[in-house]
């Protein structure tokens, strides 16, 4: 298909809306879809879905209406399709998806184990900036402690770490109250819409999750020049799986100084405009193949 084409974006949380805004910035005709119905899909050339398990029927409907289709995997959705009923739905829906994308390179391997050939394509983030904040004088750590999923997000390990490092200030963010059992060197900042001030007062982001995609929080920390200790391997990040590795990595990161390499990584590979143009290239190829 030659000339302009129309893109519909559907999914969870803020990802669809921000992608639509960024695609419009580069001149594409894109809209966020409130639902996957024939009326919503009418007049579109391509459907892009974040968190594919919520849209199996939508993919089938889109293909029957002549649309190209893109499934963008985020992390928790890969875990979702490992469950019995979802795996059956996945096998039925696969022929109706033209392109699979994954926000984090290790997810490409996980998807391959499910019979899905995916390409690594980071998500866009409205909050991703590259800014050199001053290195805080106080040794300090930032972490994420949501009200649910304590084991998944390693909350007990974070509390253990804070007790091991009583001279280090620990700041947590997330909805709800501070985690039960927090020591005196712990302060809960609540749910934050702007992470800049939190990163301004902390040296290190610590994220001992049991599993992850590529969280925006990690990329934000790198963009602000902060050190990151994470349970996953990633460039310019200290990977720590055991408690001993976690404590050693945090102690080293606290005295390492600004993460200039992490900032350059974000600048070169996670620039919003470059990411939008890469997606445009995918779209053009897919829509061009449609009859």
- Region 236-240 average pLDDT: 96
Give the CATH number for residue 103.
Answer: 3.40.50.2000
Bridge partners (DSSP) of residue 47 are 8, 69
Same domain, 250 and 158: yes
Same domain, 144 and 118: no
CA nearest neighbour of 142 among 130, 158, 127: 158
Same domain, 120 and 154: no
Same domain, 280 and 160: no
Q: Is 135 within a domain? A: no
**End-to-end CA distance of the chain, in Å?**
8
Number of domains in the chain: 2
Same domain, 168 and 227: yes
pLDDT digit string (tens) for 169-217? 999 999 988 898 999 999 999 998 889 999 999 999 999 998 777 888 9
Q: Is 129 within a domain? A: no
Same domain, 247 and 179: yes
Q: Is 70 within a domain? A: yes
Among residues of the chain, what percentage have pLDDT more than 90? 65
Same domain, 255 and 215: yes
Q: Is 69 within a domain? A: yes
For position 57, what pLDDT does the model report? 94
Q: Is 200 within a domain? A: yes
Same domain, 161 and 258: yes
3-state helix, strand, coil in the chain (%, to 5): 40, 15, 40
Same domain, 203 and 263: yes
CA nearest neighbour of 172 among 208, 125, 137, 136: 208
Same domain, 144 and 262: yes
Q: Is 176 within a domain? A: yes
Domain limits for position 233: 140-268
pLDDT grade, residue 2 (50/70/90)? Answer: very low
Report pTM.
Answer: 0.72
């Amino acid at each position: 298909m030659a000339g302009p084409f129309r893109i519909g974006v559907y999914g969870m949380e803020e990802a669809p809306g921000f992608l639509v805004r960024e695609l419009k910035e580069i001149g594409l005709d894109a809209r966020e879809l409130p639902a996957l119905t024939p009326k919503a899909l009418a007049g579109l050339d391509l459907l892009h879905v974040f968190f594919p398990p919520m849209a199996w029927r939508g993919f089938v409907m889109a293909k029957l209406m002549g649309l190209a289709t893109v499934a963008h995997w985020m992390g928790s959705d890969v875990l979702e399709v490992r469950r019995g009923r979802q795996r059956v739905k996945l096998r039925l829906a696969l022929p109706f998806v033209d392109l699979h994308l994954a926000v984090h390179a290790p997810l490409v391997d996980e998807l391959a184990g499910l019979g899905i050939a995916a390409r690594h394509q980071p998500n866009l983030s409205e909050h991703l900036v590259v800014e050199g904040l001053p290195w805080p004088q106080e040794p300090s750590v930032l972490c994420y402690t949501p009200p649910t999923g304590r084991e998944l997000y390693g909350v007990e390990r974070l509390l253990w770490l804070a007790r091991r490092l009583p001279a280090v200030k620990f700041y947590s963010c997330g909805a709800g109250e501070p985690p039960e059992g927090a020591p005196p060197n712990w302060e809960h900042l609540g749910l934050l819409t702007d992470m800049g001030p939190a990163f301004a007062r902390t040296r290190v982001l610590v994220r001992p999750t049991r599993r992850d995609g590529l969280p925006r929080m990690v990329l934000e920390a790198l963009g602000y020049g902060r050190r990151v200790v994470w349970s996953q391997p990633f460039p310019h990040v200290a990977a720590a799986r055991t408690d001993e590795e976690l404590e050693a990595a945090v102690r080293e990161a606290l005295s390492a100084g600004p993460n200039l390499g992490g900032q350059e990584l974000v600048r070169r590979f996670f620039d919003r405009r470059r990411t939008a143009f890469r997606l445009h290239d995918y779209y053009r190829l897919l829509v061009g193949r449609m009859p």
